[in-house]
Structure 1
Amino acid sequence: MAEEKKVEDRWLLVEPIKIGLLGMEWRKFERELRMAFDEGIERNLIDRRYEFIFEDNAGLPQNTAHGGIQGFHRLCDAGCVAVIGANYTDSAIPLVEHANARKVPIVSMCGTDQFHGEYCFRVGNGDVGDEPALIASWLKRQGHKTVAVVSPASPIGEEYFFFLRQECRRLGISIAAVQSVNLKSVDLAGTFAKLRDANADALCWLGYGGLVVSGDVRRGLEEIGWDPPRIMSTAFMQYIWGFDQLEGWVGIDQWCPENPRMHLFHERFKARYGEDPWMWPNAIPGLAYDMAAIVVEGIHRAPIISGPGVKKGMERIRWMPAVTGGPNTHISSGPYDHQMFKGDWLHYGLVKGGKLEFAGLFEATDDY
């Protein structure tokens, strides 16, 4: 007992590692983050205490880019050696130069190539380049030769459409019509009517998830009586707020029942906290855990516990199994490779009869 008391005293005397959490969403997923760090301590990956410092203002889209930048600097000034967050594309892009200047790594679930820099790491909740590749592959394998597209008027709208156009051109699929939407789009029935009149074989939604959650997408299709074969970007993961809003849609997902790591995460979470994670079943709880686990592994591999040291430690991660995505999803990095998800980290889902069905992993077409 006396020896245990000495160990505890030494533990408490050592200053904790400070980790910044940038974004109001982390209040909801704090348990997933803590679980990764607590397991890191239990597995002797971390040999000192940790402290989370919350900064709710990550900037756009809820607030301003300036507010997000100031929030990030406050975390750096508090001594954080890594920051988890800035998860929206809009909030992540303005932070690139600041992360590089402060030499504090950010791990974000944003999905844009514009979040690219020496201290910027991505484990995307989707990806504006990868998703169109899966969408085009699905269209090709379903025999669709033309597609009508809804594209968002947003910072990633042009990026999304560029990659979709590129992949469709590669696979010989024609884009029959394109319509843009924004968060205030009110006449979705009129938008869908224009796309329907283009006589495309299928419909592709690259637009906002908020218009799905609100019911506007389903109402717009029902109003004009249009029920085409249809596929959606990772906005599809809004199914957690109401499967009825996505009836008949195929979409890009990251919650895969064939991933054993996902089931193990769920079991450990319930054993630790006595209930399901918030938003379960959905990819975000597991993704939050993966993001925190990356920082834990980065600290374990760091030559020194500092911003540059943790950055180097994260670049040394190889073949780390992931909770997110399909059974072969793993996390790896390198000095010039900060897109950390590898393997089948995106796959297809389908909402049918008010329930989510797993609709398969990516399959190459004969054209590749």
Structure 2
Amino acid sequence: MHRSLSLLLTSLALVMTGCEKKSPPAPATPVTGGSAGAQATPPAASGALVVGVLGSLTGGEATYGISARNGIELAIQEANTAGGVKGRKLETRVYDSQGKPEEAAQAATRLITQDKVALILGDTGSSASLAVAEKAQAAGVPMITPSGTNPAVTQKGDSIFRVCFIDPFQGSVMAKFAREHLKFDTIAVLRDNKSAYSIGLADTFVGRFSELGGKIVADESYAKGDTDFRAQLTAIKKAKPQAIYIPGYYSDVGIIARQVRELGVTVPLLGGDGWGSDKLFELGGSAVEGSYFSNHYSPDNPDARTQKFIADYKAAYGSVPDAIAALGYDAARVAVEAMKRAQDTSGAALREAIASTKDFPGVTGTLSLDANRNPVKPAVILKVGDGKTEFVTTVAP
């Protein structure tokens, strides 16, 4: 993590948060402000190759940014230990977007205009990733989001990539699982109407579940930051669904789950990869038990490369990596391998090399990037138990 001058904007990643255990040191690099309208200049041909890292290191979605950053740093360290790229070491600039699109956009501008990064890894959320994508595409700087699943992210242009599956696939996976595996006929939806991520999953889930013969008996909404969901949940209770689909982030889902149970509703809750955090158990407690969500990987996967990653991550940070950490690791490794294959480190050369990624052996599954710069890869369904998740099944594209 790079320390900053005292007058720098608060969106820099200044400190580790309390949920971290260990983090390897990195050299401090002063950063100064830049002009939002400036264009990128090519990275220097010698010295360290600088990689920008963006994520929500503070705020309600901090666990995502911290996990992604840790996974990225682990991959970068491995690359440097193996000799770097083209004889040059890799160096990161890590900024805190706070999960806010405006902060993410400002940080992306600094990475591009001041830090002269070769590429950007981030952001972690869809709304923030959309803001970063606009800046990166305009400057011709490749961007790989580890976990921004909204389809519109990569639609920003040919410099924008991702290593996570997109919302239509994820929403479709859970709809199919609910209808065919759990045999549900009626489901209610509770979505965050301020989140591109939540809206994307909800829309796809509703469409696919209906196509499969199911019925959506209620479709309620809330806004990020809300703490009282009882009015919406009361309406859902009256509709008597067999399950409730809540495609939000763990920070909301834990609270919602408790209020669901307080109202006497005992049906399972369903969700997406936004649930994937240990904080879900802290916030939701027993209220989330017996629920299901789609995710990118499972620590129970016996695959040798996955288990090696888990062991290395635990040695570095003292905890089992979540899916976002695994996605951050895969995003960085895809970037490193592309930099090695690229003719040079210009934006155009790196963009071409990333786009040609095929059959990449990631810890979240073997992936190939399609013509729209989205990965073709499997998803997993996890069941929430007592303080842990249980692997249920894998769903291939």
3-state SS in 1 of match to 2:395: coil
The offset of 1:30, in angstroms, is 4.8
Structure 2 partner of 1:90: 127
Q: Is the 8 A contact 1:19 1:53 kept in 2?
A: yes
Q: Which residue of structure 2 aligns with residue 4 of structure 1?
A: none
Check 1:29–1:175 CA distance in 2 against 1; reply closer, same or farther (3 A cut): closer
Pair 1:266-2:310 in alignment = yes
Flag the 1:120–1:160 CA change in 2: closer, same or farther, 3 A. Answer: same
Give 1:39 shift. 2.5
Matched position secondary structure for 1:19: strand
The whole-number CA distance in structure 2 between the counterparts of 1:176 and 1:68 is 37
1:119 aligns with 2:159: yes
Unaligned runs of 5+ in 1: 1-12
Matched, 1:283 2:323: yes
Residue equivalent to 2:50: 18
Aligned to 1:250: 292
TM-score with structure 2 length normalisation?
A: 0.77
The answer to whether 1:187 aligns with 2:221 is no
> What secondary structure is seen at the aligned counterpart in 2 of 1:332?
strand
- Give the match for residue 9 of structure 2: none
SS of 1:314's partner is helix
Structure 2 counterpart of 1:361: 394
Tell me which amino acid in the other structure corresponds to 1:333.
L
- Taking a change above 3 Å as real, the CA distance of residues 266 and 181 of structure 1, as seen in their structure-2 partners, is same
Aligned match of 1:171: 212
What amino acid sits opposite 1:250 in the alignment?
Y
1:343 counterpart residue number: 377
**How far off its partner does 1:294 sit?**
1.1
Structure 1 range deviating more: 355-364 or 245-254: 355-364
How much does 1:59 deviate? 6.8
> Is the contact made by 2:72 and 2:332 (CA closer than 8 Å) also made in structure 1?
yes
Match status 1:199 vs 2:223: no
Name which one, 1 or 2, has greater alpha-carbon Rg: 1
Amino acid at match of 2:355: E
Given the superposition, is the C-alpha separation of residues 106 and 139 from structure 1 closer, same or farther in structure 2, using an over 3 Å criterion? same
Within 5 Å, which residues of 2 pair with 1:54-203?
A: 54-56=94-96, 58=97, 61=100, 65=102, 67-77=103-113, 78-108=115-145, 109-115=147-153, 116=155, 117-124=157-164, 127-141=166-180, 142-156=182-196, 157-203=198-244
Q: Distance in 2 between matches of 1:219 and 1:39?
A: 41
Contact kept? 2:171, 2:205, Cα under 8 Å: yes
Does structure 2 conserve the Cα–Cα contact (< 8 Å) formed by 1:149 and 1:204? yes
Q: TM-score if structure 1 supplies the norm length?
A: 0.82
Opposite residue 106 of structure 1, the aligned amino acid is M
One-letter identity of the residue aligned with 1:83: I
| In structure 1, distance between residues paired with 2:250 and 2:66 | 21
Structure 2 contact 120–143 (Cα < 8 Å) conserved: yes
Q: CA offsets, 1:154-194, max 9 Å, x none?
A: 24243233212221122111111111112343432332221
- CA distance in 2: counterparts of 1:337 and 1:306, whole angstroms: 21
Q: Percent identity?
A: 20
Secondary structure of the 2:265 match is: coil
Offset at 1:28? 6.2
Give matches, 1:6-45, under 5 Å. 14-25=46-57, 30-43=69-82
Which letter does structure 1 place at the counterpart of 2:236? L
Supply the distance in 1 between the matched residues of 2:289 and 2:173 (Cα, whole angstroms): 20
Separation of aligned partners in 2, 1:202 and 1:143: 11
* Paired residue type of 1:36: A
Aligned counterparts of 1:38 and 1:201: Cα–Cα separation in 2: 47
Unaligned runs of 5+ in 2: 1-44, 58-64
Count of aligned pairs between the two proteins: 334
Q: Structure 1 residues 200 and 268, CA, compared in 2 at 3 Å: closer, same or farther? A: closer
Partner secondary structure for residue 91 of structure 2: strand
Change beyond 3 A, Cα 1:309–1:41 = same
Gap change, CA 1:321 and 1:249, over 3 Å in 2 = same
Query: Matched residues in 1 for 2:372 and 2:190: separation?
Result: 31
| Residues in 2 aligned to 1:224 and 1:42: alpha-carbon distance in whole angstroms | 54
Distance in 2, Cα, partners of 1:103 & 1:281? 32
Secondary structure at 1:197's aligned position in 2?
Answer: helix
Alpha carbon RMSD of aligned pairs, Å? 2.5
Give the deviation of 1:347 after TM superposition.
1.1
User: What CA distance in whole angstroms lies between the structure 2 residues aligned with 1:23 and 1:235?
Assistant: 14
Greater shift after overlay, 313-322 or 347-356? Answer: 347-356
Partner SS for 1:129? helix
Kindly state the Cα deviation for residue 31 of structure 1 after the two structures are TM-superposed: 4.7
